[in-house]
Amino acid sequence: MEGGDHLAHERKKAQFDVEAMKIVWAGSRHAFEVSDRISKLVASDPAFRKDNRPMLSRKELFKNTLRKAAYAWKRIIELRLSEEEASKLRFYVDEPAFTDLHWGMFLPAIKGQGTEEQQQKWLPLAYKMQIIGCYAQTELGHGSNSSKWWPGGLGKISTHAVVYARLITDGQDHGVHGFIVQLRSLDDHSPLPGITVGDIGMKFGNGAYNTMDNGVLRFDHVRIPRDQMLMKVSQVSREGKYSQSNVPRQLVYGTMVFVRQTIVADASCALSRAVCIATRYSAVRRQFGSQNGGPETQVIDYKTQQSRLFPLLASAYAFRFVGEWLKWLYTDVTQRLQANDFSTLPEAHACTAGLKSLTTAATADGIEECRKLCGGHGYLCSSGLPELFAVYVPACTYEGDNTVLLLQVARFLVKTLSQLGSGKQPVGTTAYMGQVEHLMQCHCNVQKAEDWLKPAVILEAFEARSARMSVACAKNLSKFTNPEEGFAELSGDLVEAAIAHCQLIIVSKFIEKLQQDIPGKGVKQQLGVLCNIYALFLLHKHQGDFLSTGCITPKQAYLANEQLRALYSQARPNAIALVDAFNYTDHYLGSILGCYDGNVYPKLYEAAWKDPLNDSVVPDGYREYIWPMLKQQLRTARL
Ligand SMILES: CCCCC/C=C\C/C=C\C/C=C\C/C=C\C/C=C/C(=O)SCCNC(=O)CCNC(=O)[C@H](O)C(C)(C)COP(=O)(O)OP(=O)(O)OC[C@H]1O[C@@H](n2cnc3c(N)ncnc32)[C@H](O)[C@@H]1OP(=O)(O)O
Ligand SMILES: Cc1cc2nc3c(=O)[nH]c(=O)nc-3n(C[C@H](O)[C@H](O)[C@H](O)COP(=O)(O)OP(=O)(O)OC[C@H]3O[C@@H](n4cnc5c(N)ncnc54)[C@H](O)[C@@H]3O)c2cc1C
């Protein structure tokens, strides 16, 4: 079949209103309209072409990114885009750039940690891009005293940085604080005296994150004016006297809470993109299984393909909804902080750290699984998956290594449990710990496979598993006389307890979403199927935890798996429509395998001929290297 919609027959199978699902996915009608309009604007502008990225050298790639960033800014001004529209535009341009750090970390750091006066001075300059900033926290070695190493945008572009460094006054070390530091001249961009700055070199993957100038920075006797220390949390007077505001010191790390929250939302974008490619291609691809000379089987109909693909589809939706909730939590904590209520900061920190860890790990693994789901063609750059993986995978490391972040969550859980004794009732995501006595001895009530579809049954199993794992850790910790030694020794178990807690959060937020009014024919029902797939897939994958803590019996584990298979069959006819609901343009997807019309093979064939190697029939180097070899072989053969 040439041209036309090769997936039309799949789209006809949908049992729900796809347009209504698009609104649910976007978060609101307004969000959908903005996203739809801006994604089409970017897709239709040749200046935002990106299919040539894997072919460019680092220098060409980087210059191209600068061109796109400048052009994007020009369009933002010309079209008078709002902040929301501008950030969508950068998102759909889909190329990591210094602007991510300027808007995503430099500005938020000043907003969160600068005084009113400092904000008035610096924010207008940054908003108009009259200065360009980055966020410099990580060190080459350890200890906030060697060289900064990694900050994005630092290497070649930033004129300023928020630098985290130890504050020492009168010989006393007050710990890490943030400072606004000018790095480069605003006239000729040369580094200011005493400053050494440059790019740290090529990173994983061709193209990919190499559009970003991650940098190195050293200071030699650089004087930072006193009023450039970010002084909302603590201050230094003209006389050099150090004082602290009546706010927790942890606010110095507030930018990370903000960015981790955005990373969770971003995980659902990256995973849904990979899943969209793999799902469409799985419906196009046919392999084996033909009977009586009929067409071969679509690979999406193999149960093994479904059991690998559909949990990822369900995860994309799960991460979307938990990301939405996390945004609410972040807004709530921000409002409370403004009213001097710091009570929910530890929970916001634990949730953002833990969910960042879980969602990025699952997304990075999920993108790679999608590549494998696409067979050999998934390994071609034109599938879009290699670049997506290479760009995405550092999310497991930046904004805090995922294991380090889970240990932060574990500390929070142990602390929450230890406070139960003093009568402090846990709230929010740890409220279930208030029922710890019940959760330690409850029995799962599943007798037949369909019992696993009851939200209360799923929730209790996940709560009991999480509570039992945390309590076991707390009991083991109490055997150590030195708590830090105990924490280090038991860190493997603590990480697993943190994972169980975070999985519970994701499952419970999906269930809460389903309790809302969701309009559109069949939409809620499909989301119910995905929610159950997500929960039962996790239960199946981690059945060792559920069984060893006695939360479920082996028979119940078996029934969960039986139910899961039935759910895959229910998801199957809706699979293509469920990925259409992401509303991604072919430009954003950047994948021949995932193109909307499913016309994969002619496009793959055509793209191959555009490769620079095919510019000439006989390649460069043939005369130099191959021809002499062939001649040599001929002589040897004659001998
Ligand atoms: C490519 C596409 C991406 C798209 C994303 C879309 C949009 C995003 C927008 C912008 C971003 C753009 C691009 C993103 C790409 C890359 C950017 C990367 C940036 C970075 O990586 S910046 C560096 C981040 N570094 C880390 O995260 C280090 C991890 N370590 C920690 O977090 C440590 O906790 C610490 C902060 C270094 C402190 O360590 P330490 O002094 O030892 O103290 P602790 O014992 O750990 O904690 C003491 C105390 O404080 C509590 N705590 C810790 N952190 C926080 C926090 N952030 N908020 C609140 N409270 C915190 C902790 O719980 C302890 O409390 P106690 O009650 O137990 O005392
Ligand atoms: C693409 C990219 C962009 C980045 N952008 C920025 C930026 O803009 N600004 C910035 O400041 N930084 C940035 N970073 C740096 C990033 O924040 C750090 O790499 C990250 O926080 C991890 O720290 P590390 O590299 O020191 O790893 P390490 O802490 O050295 O981790 C190495 C290993 O040790 C383990 N480990 C470390 N500590 C512990 C512990 N306490 N207990 C158990 N195990 C532990 C980790 O799990 C990991 O396996 C970026 C990094 C990348 C890759």
Does residue 237 lie in a domain region? yes
Q: Is residue 105 part of a domain?
A: yes
Residue 404 domain-assigned? no
At 482-509, the pLDDT tens digits run 999 999 999 999 999 999 999 999 999 9
Q: Does pLDDT of 524 surpass 90?
A: yes
Residue 277 pLDDT > 80, yes or no?
A: yes
Q: 167 in a domain, yes or no?
A: yes
DSSP string spanning 424-481?
PPP-GGGGGGGGHHHHHH------SGGGGG-HHHHHHHHHHHHHHHHHHHHHHHTT-S
Could you say which of 215, 246, 277 is where a domain stops?
246
Distance 404 CA to ligand 2 centre (A): 9
Mutate which of 101, 200, 252, 259 for ligand 1? The one with the most ligand atoms within 8 Å of its CB, which is: 259
Q: Is 158 domain-assigned?
A: yes
Secondary structure string (H, E, C) spanning 152-217 = CCCCCCCCEEEEEEEEEECCEEEEEEEEEEECECCCCCCECCCEEEEECCCCCCCCHHHHCCCEEE
Here the ipTM equals 0.97
- Where among 190, 215, 246 does a domain terminate? 246
Last residue of a domain, one of 246, 273, 298: 246
**Percent of the chain scoring above 90 in pLDDT:** 91
pLDDT at 637: 60
Ligand 1 residue neighbourhood (C-beta within 6 Å): 96, 100-101, 104-105, 135, 137-138, 152, 250, 253, 256-257, 259, 262-263, 266, 345-346, 349, 391, 398-400, 404, 408, 411
Q: How far is the CA of 13 from the centre of ligand 1 (A)?
A: 45
pTM value is 0.97
Under the banding of pLDDT at 50, 70 and 90, the label for residue 633 is low
Q: From the CA of 259, how far away is ligand 1's center (Å)?
A: 9
Residue 635 has pLDDT above 80, yes or no: no
Q: For residue 210, give its domain range.
A: 98-246
The answer to whether residue 399 is catalytic is: yes
The pLDDT-based confidence of 144 (bands split at 50, 70, 90) is low
Known binding residues for FAD are: 138, 152
pLDDT > 70: what percent of the chain?
98
Interval 396-449: pLDDT, tens: 999 999 999 999 999 999 999 999 988 889 999 999 999 999 999 999 999 999
Instruction: Tell whether the model's pLDDT for residue 2 goes beyond 60.
Output: no
CATH number (domain holding residue 225): 2.40.110.10
pLDDT reported for residue 3 = 67
Query: pLDDT-derived band of residue 293, with 50, 70 and 90 as boundaries?
Result: confident
pLDDT of residue 1 exceeding 50, the answer is: no
The ligand 1 atom nearest the CA atom of 104 = 10
Of the listed ligands, the closest to the CA of 483 is 1
Tell me, in angstroms, the distance from the centre of ligand 2 to residue 398's CA: 6
Residue 206 φ/ψ, nearest 5 degrees: -80, 140
pLDDT recorded at residue 432: 98
Q: Does the Cβ of 101 fall within 6 Å of ligand 2?
A: yes
Q: Could you tell me which of 169, 345, 335, 167 has the C-alpha nearest to residue 253?
A: 345
Binding positions: 138, 152
> What pLDDT, on a 0 to 100 scale, did the predictor assign at position 295?
84
Please give the average per-residue pLDDT across 327-344, as a whole number.
94
Question: What is residue 32's predicted lDDT score, i.e. its pLDDT?
Answer: 98
Q: Is 275 inside any structural domain?
A: no
| pLDDT of the residue at 424 | 87
Residue 383 lies in a domain: no
Q: What average pLDDT is seen over the chain?
A: 96
Number of structural domains, the chain?
2
CB 139 within 8 A of CB 149: yes
Q: Calculate how far, in angstroms, residue 399's C-alpha sits from the geometric centre of ligand 1.
A: 6
Residue 516 has pLDDT above 60, yes or no: yes
Segment 205-214 shows an average pLDDT of: 92
Question: Which atom of ligand 2 is least distant from the CA of 142?
Answer: 26
Tens digits of residue pLDDT in 12-35: 999 999 999 999 999 999 999 999
Taking CA atoms only, the protein residue closest to ligand 1 atom 35 is: 253
Question: pLDDT tens for residues 236-275?
Answer: 999 999 999 888 889 899 999 999 999 999 999 999 999 9
CB contact at 8 A, 276 and 594: yes
Ligand 2 close to Cβ of residue 151 (< 6 A): yes
Catalytic residue among 399, 460, 463, 496: 399
Query: What pLDDT sits at residue 125?
Result: 98
What average pLDDT does the segment 307-329 reach?
A: 98
Is the confidence at residue 207, as pLDDT, over 70?
Answer: yes
Mean pLDDT of 183-191: 98
pLDDT in tens, 432-441: 999 999 999 9
Assigned domain for 479 exists: no
Residue 59 gets which letter from DSSP?
A: H
